[in-house]
Structures are given as structure tokens and as C-alpha cells.
Amino acid sequence: MKKYNIALLGATGAVGQEMLKVLEEYDIPVNKLLPLASARSAGGYVKFKGEDILIEEATFDSFAGMDFVLGAVENDMSKKFAPAIVKSGAVFIDNSSAFRLDPDVPLVVPEINGEDAFKNKGIISNPNCSSIITMMALGGIAKLSPIKSLVACTYQAVSGAGQNGLMELENQMSQIAKGEEPEVKVFPTQIALNVIPFIGSELDNLYTDEEMKMQNEGRRILHAPDLTVSCSCVRVPVMRSHSIAVTVRTERKISVAEANEAIRNFPGCRLVEDYKGRNYPTPLDTSDQDLVWVGRVRDDLTSDNGLTLWCCGDQIRKGAASNAVQILKKLIS
């Protein structure tokens, strides 16, 4: 079996750490693993298959001899290193939003549009975590009839803001328990015992850039250039796994029974019909695994061709790390 040289750009962050874990779980045939990070984080070690592997500082020369580079860094770093990665001959599977809307860069969810990955010119983009989870829940329905529009509300865990988001919720919960004033640093207001209906930066249309990702990325993933989406993104005091309430309107009427069957048979999805006495998943049910769980499928009461459903998925895994490794696995298979 051929083995591959794989660099991990951003090896010390939450998504980078999860990528390491998923590479091992998926038994990707790795010849050499090269963990890369900033100068501040270089010199430490990561664990991979029982070995301690030195973290090196990322430079423009780091990618020579690599077959794949998994990116788990912010947009500016992805843009900075992308030319050097492509020049080296490696394929860059990038988790940032830097190239998601670039028409020359495939935006891929393997179960939905995996063949797009083979059209890459050296860069493949991972979609936004909420986009991945939502499109996975709708992937089976889209096979029955083209999707015309979505109305979605995302309930996003604090881990979507990285390690600092997790720490802020933990710290605030501890401070409240002690009767202290919660300290606010990461989020615009207190997140413990609260919800914040605003994620990202506000655009001219009064939606945020995070909310517009569902439409802009959904069009590319589903190959539906006319898809319209109205989305509200809400930060909730949940550690891990995003949830989405979505109403989907299709070209033809899809019955609840048809939708359930399509979801049940769609790879990477789990239809929740009777789980511990309930017909819906929760973030806790779906954390630390790769399936998108879907429940409460019902007719939309505002349109003839609509369905409403609830879905949950681990945004660090399927929403980021696992999706990237699944793309890699598809390319080498």
C-alpha cells in the first residue's frame, strides 16, 4: 500500500488536534507526518500513532516532498502559504474560508459532491461547519428533488470560536457558581446562561457573513446556483456540536415518509426516530463522532413543497477535521 507524506498546518489548534486524531482513526497510510505551527508553538510535540512528533515552524519551504497539506489555520495564514503549497506539488485541503467561493477551488462535502475534489488545481476547500452539517441533513432530500430555498436557524456551540470560546464558557460558569461577575473577552456579551443571535460581521443586507455562508456555500455544494437561503446564526452555551433547525422547500412535494427514507439511507446521516424515547438528537448525542443526526422531520405549514427538520453534528469533527480527512481519503482511494 502506498504511503503519503502529510503536513498539518496549524497542528496545535482545536481543529488541528482533531485532524491528528481522525487521521489515526481512519487509518490513513502516512509515511511522514509533519506538524507545522507558528514560531511560538514550534518545538513542542504532538502524539501520532504512539509517537511523539516534533512541531516545526511553518515556512515557505516546509512543504517540499509533501503529498497533502491539511490546513487548520485562519484565512490570512492559508492565503500566505497556499502559493508555496501548490508550487510544491502537494494538494492543500484547507479548513479556512479563504478559498471557499473561488470558482477554481472545489468546495467539497464528500458524501454530496465528492467528485468535485478531483477537479482541484492544488487547493480544495472545506465548507463552513454549519453548512456541512445542514447540507448533510439535506443530501438525501436533494436527490429526490432539487432544493429551491432554505430557512435556517443555527445553534452554534462555543467551540466554533476555538479553544478560547470553550475556556470562556467554562470560566463564566465557574465564576457564576462562585457568585462572581462573569468575565467577557471572546464573545460580545456573556454566553453562560445566555444566547447571542449574532455571529460574524454584519453586511450591507443586515445579515452577517456567517449567515450568508449557508447560501453561498450551499449553492456550490448542491450545484444549485439559484438556491436562496435566509439564515440566522445563534451562539448558545453548548460546548460542542452545532444544531440547525431548517425548513427546506423543494421543486416537487416530498412526503415525510419519502424524506425519512432518503435521510435513513444517506451515507453519513442517522435518522432519529426513537432514540431513548425521543425523535430528535441533541448536541450531547452527536459530540465526538462523525454522523449528522436528523430528527423531527415534518411538513412545513407555510408552503406546499416544504419540510422542516432538526439536525445536529460535531462541528469540530464532521464540520471541520473529519470532512477534510474524508476528502483526503477519497483522493487516495
**Active-site annotation, residues:** 129, 242
155 contact partners, CB below 8 Å, separation of at least 6: 195, 234, 236, 238, 242, 243, 244, 245
- The cell 450531547 sits on which residue? 284
**Which backbone phi and psi does 215 adopt, to 5 degrees?**
-75, -50
Cβ–Cβ < 8 Å for 233, 274:
no
HSE-CB for 290 with a 13 A CA cutoff: 18
270 contact partners, CB below 8 Å, separation of at least 6: 281, 291, 292, 293, 294
Cβ–Cβ < 8 Å for 186, 165:
yes
Helix, strand, or coil (residue 317): helix
Q: Supply angle C-alpha 101, 105, 107, rounded to 5.
A: 65
Cβ–Cβ < 8 Å for 136, 292:
yes
From 269, 283, 246, select the one nearest 157 (Cα to Cα): 283
From 110, 112, 156, 141, select the one nearest 249 (Cα to Cα): 141
